[in-house]
A and B are shown apart, each in its own frame.
Chain A
Amino acid sequence: MPDDEPDDSEHGSAISGYGIGSAVAGVIAVAAIVLAALIWTQHRGDAAELRYRTEAMQAAADWTGVLVNMNKDTVDASLAQLHEGTVGQLNADFDASIKPYRELVQKLQARTTGQVDSVAIEYLHKDQPGAQPPPPASSDMSVFASRTDTVMVIATSVSETAGNEKPQTVRWTLRLDVADIDGKPMISRLESVR
């Protein structure tokens, strides 16, 4: 039927107009799905990063809490506990690197109570002029640790000696490297800023 032809084409063009509209909506929808997925993964990554930083700071704070609360009676138990929280080079050389602290505790022969004053993930670090460059971030760690962050821990401990009336205050400014070992933050380096 010839009469149908213009009618059909008119109908056809109307359909294609709506069809184009639907296709555009479809493209927008697909693009939106891709963007939404991207935003979602990025946000999850950021949230996980913040969560990990909190864990690393908590681990460093707990570890330092033990370190600054060492008494002459509890020194061995404390050191064992500290040793457990370390990994890598610090774990291997634990006795050597912790020696000054142990000697301090034993020399003071005192009741020590300490508190952690501040914990922060280090964001900015400037090497001191004249200071020897820090040992290259223990390369042996990279095998086990997926990442290593430096945490600044600032603590104060007060030692009350039996003979001496005046309590002795020790101010700690520490930089701890916290390595991520299978999701568990462990201390891999200890540096006292002085």
Chain B
Amino acid sequence: MRTAWRVAVFDVAAPLAAIAALLYIGIALAWPLWWVSVCSVLCLLVVEAVVVNVVLARRDGVTVGTDDDGPRLRLAVAGTAAAALAAAVVVAYLNWTVPDRNLRNDTGEVVDIASSVSEASATFAPQSPTASIDRATAMMSSQAAEEFKKEFDSVAKDLAGRNVSATASTVSAGVEAIGPAAASVAVILTATQSSPGTPPDTAVLALRVRLSKQDGRWLVDDVSPIHSR
């Protein structure tokens, strides 16, 4: 009974676990060429060791698992299998869990940023003409901020001259596409323009906000209308 148990664990389960771990790492790494070759070599070594074990077991009637004089080798077998499995967990965590979690967090972050940038870029108060522009540019990359300022300075002067105030609020926002370093977010907002003496004018705006991740921070690169005309 004890013999059967030791054979099952050390002579059968351990090499199978090691091979399974190697294949699992391959799946997690999406089989790059170097791992295909490393994995083949290591799997071949494991199979070879199993074959040697079987041949010696037929000759001596004792296997690695049941040999009372070879505890070191048994520990080495168990340790190798455990190490392979532990490596598989680490590789899978780094290749699957971390990117999946980053994607989820990034999605929430870019949508929030895009929503506030869109609202700020469509908001204007004549009392403080630069307040909302500053709020928007704070979330932009330096190049985009410069362009945005240039573009909106004249508009802001015009609006301030006519004493127009504008407010905008997000209706919905969602991610069009997202990767580890770049994202594109669609934002639908309602914008209301009002000036003294005229009824407020409400319009629905659809904006596309492009963002890129720089030094771990999402920055807006571009805000543009989505409608093609």
Contact = CB atoms under 8 A, between A and B. Distances in A.
Interface of A: 14-15, 18-19, 21-22, 25-26, 28-29, 32-33, 35-36, 39-40, 42-43, 46, 115, 117-126, 128, 150-152, 154, 156, 158, 169, 171, 173, 175, 193-194
User: Interface range on chain B: under 10, 10 to 19, 20 to 34, or 35 or more?
Assistant: 35 or more
A22 B78 CA distance: 6
A17 to B, nearest CB: 8
Contact of B17 (A15, A18, A33, A43): A33
Given A32-B86, A118-B206, A128-B190, A21 B78 contact: yes
Contacts of A40: 24, 92, 96
B82 A118 contact: no
B174 interface: yes
B219 interface: no
Nearest to B111: A123
B229 A173 contact: no
Residue among B21, B72, B92 having the largest count of chain A Cβ atoms under 10 Å: B92
Contact of A35 (B75, B89, B103, B206): B89
B93 interface: yes
Residue among A15, A39, A151, A175 having the largest count of chain B Cβ atoms under 10 Å: A39
A39 B206 contact: no
B17 A29 contact: yes
Contacts of B86: 28-29, 32
Contact of B188 (A21, A35, A193): A193
Interface SS of B by simple majority: helix
User: Which A-B residue pairs are the 4 nearest by beta carbons?
Assistant: A120-B174, A18-B71, A32-B85, A25-B78
Interface stretch (B36-44, B52-60, B164-172): B164-172
B224 to A, nearest CB: 11
Contacts of A156: 227-229
Interface of B: 9-10, 17, 21, 24, 68, 71-72, 74-75, 78-79, 81-82, 85-86, 88-89, 92-93, 96-97, 100, 103, 107-108, 111-112, 115, 169-176, 185-186, 188, 190, 204, 206, 208, 226-229
A121 B86 CA distance: 37
A169 B92 contact: no
B24 A43 contact: no
B206 A43 contact: no
Given A14-B71, A43-B92, A126 B188 contact: no
B75 A118 contact: no
B188 A154 contact: yes
Contacts of B170: 124, 126
A109 B203 CA distance: 26
A29 B18 CA distance: 10
B8 to A, nearest CB: 12
Residue among A42, A123, A126, A156 having the largest count of chain B Cβ atoms under 10 Å: A123
A161 to B, nearest CB: 16
A43 B24 CA distance: 13
Contact of B172 (A122, A158, A169, A171): A122
Contact of A46 (B17, B82, B100, B174): B100
Given A32-B85, A124-B172, A175-B172, A117 B75 contact: no
Contacts of A173: 188, 204, 206
